[in-house]
Structure 1
Amino acid sequence: MIYPKKFAVASAATAAFLWIACSALVAILPEAMWQMTGYMLHIEISQMNWAMNWTGFCIGLVSWSVVAGIAGGVLAAIYIRL
C-alpha cells in the first residue's frame, strides 16, 4: 500500500537531493553542465552564462522540494483511488 504523506515526503526529499547534486555539478563543471542543458532543451545556449548564487540555490531547493512533495502526494492519492 502507498501512503500519500510518506510518498510526498519521499518525493520532496528526492527532489532536494537531485537539486543539491545538480547544483554541485554546476559549481564543479559549469561548462559541461551548460552544454548538457543545451542538449536537453534542444537549443543553442553556449553564449549565455550561469547566474548561480546562494539565494537562487535556496529558493530553488525549497520550491522544487515543495512542488515535488505536492505532486507526489497527489500522485499517491490518485493511485490509491484507481
Structure 2
Amino acid sequence: MINRNKFAVASGLCAGLLWVICSILVALFPHYMLLMTTHMIHVDITQMGWTLTWSGFLVGLAGWMILAGVAGALLAVIYNRMVGCETS
C-alpha cells in the first residue's frame, strides 16, 4: 500500500527539485537548453528565447509542485485500488 499523502508530497518535492535544476541550467546555458528543448518537443523554437524572471520562476515552481502532487495522489489512489488496499 502506498500512503497517498506522503507520495503526493514526495512527487511535488521531486518536481520542484527538477524545476530548480532546469531553471539553473537555462540560466547558465540558455542556448544549449533551447536546443535540447527543441529536440525534446520536436518543434523548432530556436527563434524564440527564454524569459527568466523571479516571478516566473516562483509561479512555475508552485504550479509544477501542485500539479505533480495531485498527480502523485491520483497515482497512489489508483495503485492502492488496483492491489485491493484502502486509500489513506
Higher helix share: 1
Q: Same fold (TM over 0.5)?
A: yes
Larger Rg: 2
User: Who is 1:39 aligned against?
Assistant: 39
TM-score normalized by the length of structure 1: 0.97
* Structure 2 SS opposite 1:22: helix
Alignment RMSD (CA, Å): 0.6
> What one-letter code is carried by the residue in structure 1 that aligns with 2:12?
A
Compute the displacement of 1:6 (Å).
Answer: 0.4
Compute the displacement of 1:27 (Å).
Answer: 0.3
Alpha-carbon distance in structure 1 between the residues aligned to 2:78 and 2:45: 38
Alpha-carbon distance in structure 1 between the residues aligned to 2:44 and 2:2: 42
User: Who is 2:21 aligned against?
Assistant: 21
Unaligned runs of 5+ in 2: 83-88
Compute the displacement of 1:46 (Å).
Answer: 1.3
> What one-letter code is carried by the residue in structure 1 that aligns with 2:25?
L
Compute the displacement of 1:44 (Å).
Answer: 1.1
The more displaced of 38-47 and 26-35 is: 38-47
Alpha-carbon distance in structure 1 between the residues aligned to 2:49 and 2:64: 22
* Structure 1 SS opposite 2:2: coil
- Structure 1 vs Structure 2: percent identity of aligned residues? 50
Alpha-carbon distance in structure 2 between the residues aligned to 1:77 and 1:43: 35
* Aligned pairs, number: 82
